[in-house]
Structure 1
Amino acid sequence: MSRYGFLVSPSHNRVYAQSAPALATAELQAFGETVIDGGVRDVEITEIGGVPYVTFTADPLSDTGIRLLSNLSSLYALFTVEGDLLRPVARKPLDLFGSDLLTIQKYAGKTNEDFTRMLVNVTALATDAPAGLLTGAMRLLDPMCGRGTTLNQAVMYGMDASGLDIDPKDFDAYSAFFRTWLKNSRLKHRAESGTVRRQKATLGRRLQVSLGASKELYREGRTIDVTVVNADTLRSGDFFRRGEFDLIVTDAPYGVQHGSRPHGGGNAGRLSRSPVDLLAAAVPVWAPLLRPGGALGISWNTLVGRREQLAEILAANGFTVRDSAAYQGFVHRVDQAINRDIIVARKD
């Protein structure tokens, strides 16, 4: 057995930084339950030199184990713990692009990038093939994608990413940002945008991008495909195929700056402050788009919706909720009006 520890990454958000060590512990345990041979034990927060580390015991990590743990959302540096000494372990993260893809965008209500990575990670770990996280072969849908933080994280991992959002301003902002980022990064790509019509009816607008992590991969046709649609999430089935996705990952409206209209898009229907109403209407639409064995991960504000309510909705639509100690360890305070948690479930 070996003892390991990792330095928790500093965060630009003071409140999230306070929660980061506990969240890192839960995320590590989720990795240990699924993809780390022999699991992880004795996980605890240990202060070394006045700085918090997450320490744990495990069988000597293989190259695959190091590659997996290198993607922990709060991991800044990994070490083996040898008595009073820390021996660095070279990280091997999946990231294909520079961090500017995740950090350039600044706007009110943006989800912390570390939290988004954690949400993607723990959802991928809940699938029937969690090691697929290393291959980039997973396909992700964010059916309420806003300005695309989750989509950008998927692209960082080499995943095909699709999203919907009803707000035309968010669609335009993401389209402008992503096209500019592609040009500034000098990545080979093809980008097309236009209106989606069916039987002479306008369904929404769509941005489609194919990009290569390198010129060689682009020439070989080994591209990362990104599709974003400006439309109501309740019409997701009009734009995507049944069983098309391995992951559905999204932030439910927090009921503070964001409201939802579960009974129709645009200005139709009453404005709800609860994510429960929206999810009750949306999950039956999303579920057919996820392949059997795929997983759905949702973050939400516990002050406007109880975990039991979301679990009942998911169970009624053919999902099995992950309820281990790790998957119940993600609740944390964002501000006085938002207490955020994650619920993850696998499609039966």
Structure 2
Amino acid sequence: MVATSWALLVRPSANRVYSAAAPHLTESETAVLNACVLGHRLSDLTTETLGGVDYLTFTSEGELTEREIAHLSTLSGAFALFRRSGTSLEPVELDGLQHLDEDLLTIQKYVGKTNELFTRLLLNVTVWASGVGGDLVAGASRERPIRVLDPLCGRGSTLHQALVYGCDADGLDVDAKSFDAHEAFLKTWLRRKRLKHEAEVIPVRREGERIGRRLEVKVGADKEAWKAGDVRRLGFVHADTTRAAEFFRPASFDALVADAPYGVQHGARAEGRLDRSPLALLEAALPGWVPLLRPGAALGISWNTHVAERAQAVRLLEEAGLEPLDDGPWRGFLHRVDQAIERDIVVARRPA
């Protein structure tokens, strides 16, 4: 079979620092996709500068299938795909996975918001590592939506990316202002998009005691989907993440994705108090998080390595009964955010 050469144009970012890191992040992200989902169909992965612009280049045995192109289209760094022939580049249409409009992620602007491309990358590599990673692009043919939990969800960026992908999403956050801001934004967005939906905030009680609030949202991609019962749901609980097991059933999530507070401007919250160490938060929260994962599910977390070493995070995940993925492309996500923050990702699986 004749090898085919490809060039993926790396998506630019308005953030100059993130844009500089994007080529190597895209290379690592693609290598994870290749190993977890594509069965090592791609080879010779490398970053090349063509005409002064960064591309991820690779080869495949024969042509890529429509499904393989659909998977490549989900890459956070994918901007355009080309088939290479000598010095010529032939455009190949990407097939973006978009259940809802992407401005659900991009409209919100606030201090401390994580770059949307990184949010997508973190969600991607975590879902791909799970037992349902190959089903992400399956759409309506899936027996059930992939279910994602962000137990440190802030104002909901990861939840929104999951909805755009057609997943169901749940989150927790202890900050009341984040909960209220997210509720107001999402209800306004749904109304302006004129999408059929239901959205309400309900108190959560245990033994007569109010222990939190829950925003429950159901939405259809269009009127036909709503009538057919093809809806996606988002839940957001205002409560401490260490109490996650009180709000969700065991073994109910395919992926848990958390962008930990960086311990500089933010701070990690555990048991209702401010704690500067994301490791302390992880140690306190893992006993509640891990039982929520289905067998074969994956947990992905990002954090600031200036305040917590990777080896320490890996050790905590192992002690919680998970299997960290800690070699090859999984070690390729360390990048600078600003002078005080170097961010990394670690992903671990719950044994099947």
Scaled by the length of structure 2, the TM-score of the pair is 0.96
2:330 paired with 1:322 = no
Q: Which runs of 5+ in 1 are unaligned?
A: none
2:22 paired with 1:20 = yes
The aligned counterpart of 1:139 is 147
Deviation, 1:318, is 1.3
The aligned counterpart of 1:155 is 163
Aligned 1:286-325 pairs, distance under 5 A: 286-325=289-328
2:232 to 220, 224, 235: 224
2:285 paired with 1:282 = yes
Aligned 1:1-348 pairs, distance under 5 A: 1-59=3-61, 60-135=63-138, 137-262=145-270, 264-265=271-272, 267=273, 271-348=274-351
Letter in 2 for 1:83: G
Whole-angstrom CA distance in 2 between matches of 1:319 and 1:218: 38
**1:219-252 residue CA offsets vs partner (Å, 9 max, x unmatched):** 1111101000100001111110001100000111
**1:262-281 residue CA offsets vs partner (Å, 9 max, x unmatched):** 3x12x4xxx32110011011
Whole-angstrom CA distance in 2 between matches of 1:302 and 1:39: 33
Q: Is the 8 A contact 1:38 1:58 kept in 2?
A: no
Letter in 1 for 2:58: F
Q: Is the 8 A contact 2:9 2:54 kept in 1?
A: yes
Q: Between Structure 1 and Structure 2, how many residues are aligned?
A: 343
4+ long deviations beyond 6 Å: none
Instruction: Pick which of 125-134 and 285-294 moved more.
Output: 125-134
Q: Is the 8 A contact 1:205 1:231 kept in 2?
A: yes
Whole-angstrom CA distance in 1 between matches of 2:73 and 2:80: 9
Deviation, 1:192, is 1.3
Q: Is the 8 A contact 2:132 2:254 kept in 1?
A: no
**1:47-92 residue CA offsets vs partner (Å, 9 max, x unmatched):** 1111111101122211110000001001100011110000111110
Partner of 2:136, secondary structure, is helix
Scaled by the length of structure 1, the TM-score of the pair is 0.97
Whole-angstrom CA distance in 2 between matches of 1:292 and 1:99: 31
Deviation, 1:209, is 0.5
**1:254-296 residue CA offsets vs partner (Å, 9 max, x unmatched):** 001111233x12x4xxx32110011011011100001010000
**1:9-29 residue CA offsets vs partner (Å, 9 max, x unmatched):** 110100000000000000010
**1:297-325 residue CA offsets vs partner (Å, 9 max, x unmatched):** 00000000011111111111111111231
Whole-angstrom CA distance in 1 between matches of 2:36 and 2:337: 28
Whole-angstrom CA distance in 2 between matches of 1:284 and 1:240: 14
What value does the CA root-mean-square deviation take over the aligned residues?
1.0
